[in-house]
């Protein structure tokens, strides 16, 4: 499904990013990996970058080859990290990288943002979500203070803002055939799962209790791969849950179906 395509994968050294990089190659694509650490699995090219830092992202964009057919924004931080750092990597840095890269992407390219089930209530935080859409690196600390974003809330908000940003840019680059979508996993067995459970406590335990198992990176990567492929050309601005039914469970309970 990705034969002949070059895909940039951020967070490619572990978890869902590593699984996505393996899948892209298995589906015939070429992987340009971006991470702070060298991936253990073979990739076609690797670029080290700190996605919390504007200068590092700008240097990355200048170094990356032009003409990539896809961008998988998978790098992210868990809620155990400082709130401003989480927001910089999970949202502000992702935005900056994407908008800087778009002019260098091939026509018809696909952008896939890794959101989360944690962002499902984005519409309940509209004032902060709207205020975040043009948030710059230098304003993140003040933004967190002004909107009460601290602790685990930083992760939830970063994903809420990302889902809204994906919806907002459903047609932004339509004249070049470039589209953007998101994937929202539920709990996934990656190195940072323990951070979520430790931070979210009872809520995470309740979510896990109703599931048959936690997700695996290999459960999420094919959904990302599909959205990177031409088979999904008519899907634009979508946020696809990949969570073993947890989102459906939340909606069922919330609406008393």
User: Where in the sequence numbering do the catalytic residues fall?
Assistant: 155
- For residue 100, give the H/E element and its range: helix 94-101
For Cα atoms 232, 237, 242, give the angle at the middle one, nearest 5 degrees. Answer: 70
Phi first, then psi, for residue 243 (nearest 5°) are -145, 20
- Distance, in Å, from the CA atom of 257 to the CA atom of 247, rounded to the nearest integer, reads 14
Helix (H, G, I), strand (E, B) or coil at 5: coil
Strand ranges for the chain from DSSP E: 6-10, 30-35, 45-48, 70-73, 110-114, 179-185, 239-242
Query: Which of 104, 109, 107, 98 minimizes the C-alpha distance to 29?
Result: 109
């Amino acid at each position: 499904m990705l034969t002949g395509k070059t895909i940039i994968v951020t967070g490619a050294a572990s978890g869902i990013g590593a699984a996505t990089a393996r899948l892209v190659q298995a589906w015939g694509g070429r992987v340009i990996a971006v991470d702070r650490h060298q991936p253990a699995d073979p990739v076609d090219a690797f670029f080290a970058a700190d996605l919390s830092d504007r200068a590092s992202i700008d240097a990355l964009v200048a170094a990356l080859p032009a003409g990539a057919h896809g961008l998988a924004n998978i790098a992210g931080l868990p809620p155990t990290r400082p709130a401003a750092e989480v927001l910089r990597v999970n949202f502000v840095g992702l935005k900056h990288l994407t908008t800087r890269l778009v002019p260098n992407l091939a026509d018809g390219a696909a952008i896939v943002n890794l959101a989360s089930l944690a962002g499902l209530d984005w519409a309940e935080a509209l004032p902060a979500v709207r205020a975040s859409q043009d948030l710059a690196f230098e304003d993140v600390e003040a933004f967190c203070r002004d909107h009460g974003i601290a602790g685990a809330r930083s992760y939830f908000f970063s994903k809420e803002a990302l889902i809204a940003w994906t919806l907002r840019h459903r047609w932004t680059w339509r004249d070049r055939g470039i589209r953007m979508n998101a994937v929202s996993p539920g709990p996934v067995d990656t190195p940072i799962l323990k951070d979520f459970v430790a931070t979210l406590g009872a809520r995470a335990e309740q979510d896990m209790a109703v599931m048959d198992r936690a997700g695996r990176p290999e459960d999420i990567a094919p959904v990302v791969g599909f959205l990177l492929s031409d088979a999904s050309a008519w899907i634009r601005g979508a946020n696809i849950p990949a969570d073993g039914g947890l989102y459906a469970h939340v909606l069922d309970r919330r609406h008393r179906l």
